[in-house]
Chains A and B, each alone.
Chain A
Amino acid sequence: EPEVTQTPSHQVTQMGQEVILRCVPISNHLYFYWYRQILGQKVEFLVSFYNNEISEKSEIFDDQFSVERPDGSNFTLKIRSTKLEDSAMYFCASSPLKSSTDTQYFGPGTRLTVL
């Protein structure tokens, strides 16, 4: 069964450094998402991406964040200058954009620790 994959599983970085989180969505899916979950808190939507552009973004997704689909398979989330409060699990999801169903399927997540 196809799965969303994410790398790395755990990323440790120093405050102020740039990080890139990588995702490989399910191959025939067209809509891509990033969510995050701070330890002990709710899952929060960050951004959705379709047809090579941002479709929707939350207030969390400020100028420090960017997304890119650099090739036909990867979908990346970049945080330009990490802050302590960026420490969280980051989940990538994809959906097929069919007319009758649009279920989002999630990857296993990347745990980002900012020191």
Chain B
Amino acid sequence: DAKTTQPPSMDCAEGRAANLPCNHSTISGNEYVYWYRQIHSQGPQYIIHGLKNNETNEMASLIITEDRKSSTLILPHATLRDTAVYYCIVRGLNAGNNRKLIWGLGTSLAVNP
């Protein structure tokens, strides 16, 4: 089973920031938080990942709480093309043969005009 909990759906107005929460209270010290999204049954798209520091790239920012039990993905200026299902996944890095991603149901984000 997935080690994360996400709200099933969220709405956001176009141009506003979308803040997507994820709970991973059982995360262990060597596990990273990864975020992917899937636009209407297309292939999952990598967004960002982090261990304990906040991370930012051209797509999004990732804020991880100090105790690492939860995180928030921030899309700073959401557009209609950001409408997708967003997945938060916890996995160990370079974990030998255990490299598989375990997916939950994610958060379905609807960006509204």
Binding site for B on A (CB under 8 A): 4, 6, 31, 33, 35, 37, 42-45, 48, 55-56, 58, 89, 91, 93, 95, 99, 101-109
Instruction: Give the A-B contact count at a CB cut-off of 8 A.
Output: 58
Contact B98 A109 (CB under 8 A): no
Contact B100 A105 (CB under 8 A): no
Contact B43 A56 (CB under 8 A): no
Identify the interface centre among A33, A42, A44, A107: most chain B CB within 10 Å of its CB: A42
B3-42 residues at the A interface, CB under 8 angstroms: 34, 36, 38, 41-42
A-B contact pairs, 11 of them (CB 8 A): A33-B100, A43-B87, A45-B101, A48-B99, A48-B100, A55-B97, A56-B99, A56-B100, A95-B99, A101-B93, A109-B42
Q: Which residues from chain B contact A107 at a C-beta distance below 8 Å? A: 43
Contact B43 A109 (CB under 8 A): yes
Q: Provide the main secondary structure of the chain A interface.
A: strand
Enumerate the 6 nearest inter-chain pairs by beta-carbon distance, A residue then B residue, closest first.
A106-B43, A45-B100, A43-B103, A106-B44, A108-B43, A56-B97
Given contacts A106-B43, A108-B43, 8 further A-B contacts (CB under 8 A): A31-B99, A35-B101, A43-B44, A45-B101, A48-B100, A56-B99, A56-B100, A101-B49
Q: Which residues from chain A contact B87 at a C-beta distance below 8 Å? A: 43
Binding site for A on B (CB under 8 A): 34, 36, 38, 41-46, 49, 87, 93-94, 97-105
Contact A105 B46 (CB under 8 A): yes
The 8 Å CB contact of A103, one of B34, B103, B104, is B34
Q: Which residues from chain A contact B43 at a C-beta distance below 8 Å? A: 4, 6, 91, 106-109
B48 (CB) vs chain A CBs: closest residue: A103
Shortest CB–CB separation between residue A1 and chain B, in angstroms? 12
CA distance A43 to B49 in the complex (A): 19
Contact A56 B41 (CB under 8 A): no
Q: Which residues from chain A contact B103 at a C-beta distance below 8 Å? A: 42-44
A4 (CB) vs chain B CBs: closest residue: B43
CA distance A58 to B98 in the complex (A): 11
